[in-house]
């Protein structure tokens, strides 16, 4: 298949009989470690994928925004009056939400005609939603010459998703789609929004991150995600802290003693996961890849046992990858399906992928897909 950038440009030219003013892209992402920590003011360590959503666009004199999705094969049109959360739904809620969030922030995005094409798998936990928001945002900011510096863009895209689409996500995915740098993982403090680009050239060390898409159907994603977030907020209030970020490892036993069983386990995950992110950054900086692997596997156990966001397919993929020689493995993303990351010696990627496929077949699961991921850059104009 031709890349999304080429398809966006070609479909634009075919539909409108003219070339777009430009083409903008934003990537999907995986999260190396730091799950469900972002909305607890904690730490995350994602990197962007080479899988891109592309937007070909041109300003429009109609005063409205027209967005065509190549994959859906449908077009949505909306004007300023339609920019009320809930008015536009389906895939078009993401671009409409971005226009709304820009307006809400006092900016005036230019009316435009946009064509979207995607190479980011949908429903796989690889943040296709954030990639769509950030590609549209980047296009509109550029087309309109809007005063919105890069560091402020993730929160505008997040606001589109929280307040317009209605998904109470944190800021990790939009930050990854916007701020990532090729060859690096993005270490983000979700409270201060400080970032550091951590060199992550695993190939140079003979290692690879194998992404295994379990193709497990996502179950209860929205409701369970919101429930986890609500439990964290209740625990925060009970502990009298601003966010679970403020509970340190030393305070943990005392804090946990004050919570009920569910809140105790959710809190333990968040607090220990924050520490695992810090330890992973130190391990990457120290070139300690076995250490990174151990932290990934510990993170998975915490998501499975304490946060309870895994499903049999992802647990099976992790166990099988480890048994086949992976140095570490964990689910990535919000949970309840999606992808597993395995840290694998570069010459073992095919063997690990085959082992997982074999176990899935034996257990009657849908066939998984696997690819090696190298860290890509964030949203940008490419033409």
Q: Which of 79, 81, 82, 84 is nearest to 110 (CA)?
A: 79
Residue 364 burial (CB count, 10 A): 6
Size of the site for ligand GLA (CB under 6 A): 11
173 belongs to the binding site for ligand GLA (CB under 6 A)? yes
> What is the signed CA dihedral for 90, 96, 98, 100, rounded to 10 degrees?
-130
266 belongs to the binding site for ligand GLA (CB under 6 A)? no
By CB under 6 A, which span of 48-56, 167-175, 179-187, 365-373 interacts with ligand GLA?
167-175
Contact present, 52 and 128 (Cβ < 8 Å): no
Is residue 116 helix, strand or coil?
Answer: strand
35 belongs to the binding site for ligand GLA (CB under 6 A)? yes
38 belongs to the binding site for ligand GLA (CB under 6 A)? yes
CA distances from 41 to 133, 171, 179, 240 (A): 22, 10, 18, 15
**Footprint on residues 333-352 left by ligand GLA (CB under 6 A):** 333-334
273 belongs to the binding site for ligand GLA (CB under 6 A)? no
User: Which residues carry out catalysis?
Assistant: 173
Nearer to ligand GLA, 174 or 349 (CB): 174
**Footprint on residues 112-141 left by ligand GLA (CB under 6 A):** 127
Interface residue with ligand GLA among 56, 114, 160, 172 (CB under 6 A) is: 172
Least Å distance, CB 30 to ligand GLA, is: 10
39 belongs to the binding site for ligand GLA (CB under 6 A)? yes
170 belongs to the binding site for ligand GLA (CB under 6 A)? yes
CA distances from 197 to 183, 201, 238, 241, 378 (A): 9, 12, 35, 29, 12
State both tokens at 25: 């892209």
State both tokens at 231: 């439990």
Binding site for ligand GLA (CB under 6 A): 35-36, 38-39, 127, 169-170, 172-173, 333-334
């Amino acid at each position: 298949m031709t890349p999304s950038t080429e398809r966006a440009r070609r479909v634009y030219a075919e539909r409108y009989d003219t070339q777009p003013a430009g083409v903008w892209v934003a990537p999907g992402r995986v999260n190396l470690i730091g799950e469900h920590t972002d909305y607890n003011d904690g730490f995350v360590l994602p990197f962007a994928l080479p899988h891109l959503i592309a937007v070909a666009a041109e300003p429009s004199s109609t005063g409205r925004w027209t967005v065509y999705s190549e994959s859906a094969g449908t077009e949505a049109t909306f004007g300023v009056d339609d920019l009320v959360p809930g008015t536009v739904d389906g895939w078009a809620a993401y671009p409409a939400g971005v226009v709304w969030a820009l307006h809400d922030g006092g900016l005036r995005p230019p009316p435009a005609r946009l064509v979207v094409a995607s190479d980011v798998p949908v429903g796989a936990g690889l943040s296709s939603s954030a990639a769509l928001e950030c590609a549209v945002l980047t296009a509109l900011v550029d087309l309109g010459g809007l005063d919105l510096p890069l560091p402020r863009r993730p929160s505008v895209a997040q606001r589109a998703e929280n307040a317009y689409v209605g998904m109470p996500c944190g800021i990790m995915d939009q930050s990854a789609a916007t701020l990532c740098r090729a060859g690096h993982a993005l270490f983000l403090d979700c409270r201060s929004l400080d970032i550091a680009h951590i060199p992550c050239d695993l190939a140079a060390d003979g290692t690879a991150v194998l992404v295994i898409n379990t193709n497990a159907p996502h179950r209860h994603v929205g409701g369970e995600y919101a429930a986890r977030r609500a439990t964290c907020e209740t625990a925060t209030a009970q502990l009298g802290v601003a966010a679970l970020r403020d509970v340190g490892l030393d305070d943990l036993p005392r804090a946990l003693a004050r919570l009920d069983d569910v809140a105790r386990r959710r809190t333990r995950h968040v607090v220990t996961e924050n520490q695992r992110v810090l330890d992973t950054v130190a391990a990457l900086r120290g070139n300690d890849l076995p250490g990174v692997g151990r932290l990934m596997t510990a993170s998975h156990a915490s998501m499975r046992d304490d946060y309870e966001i895994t499903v049999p397919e992802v647990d099976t993929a992790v166990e099988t990858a480890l048994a086949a020689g992976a140095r570490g493995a964990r689910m990535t993303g919000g949970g309840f399906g999606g992808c597993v990351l395995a840290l694998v010696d570069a010459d073992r990627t095919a063997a690990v992928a085959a082992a997982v496929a074999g176990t899935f077949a034996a257990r009657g699961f849908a066939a998984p897909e696997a690819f090696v991921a190298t860290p890509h850059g964030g949203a940008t104009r490419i033409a």
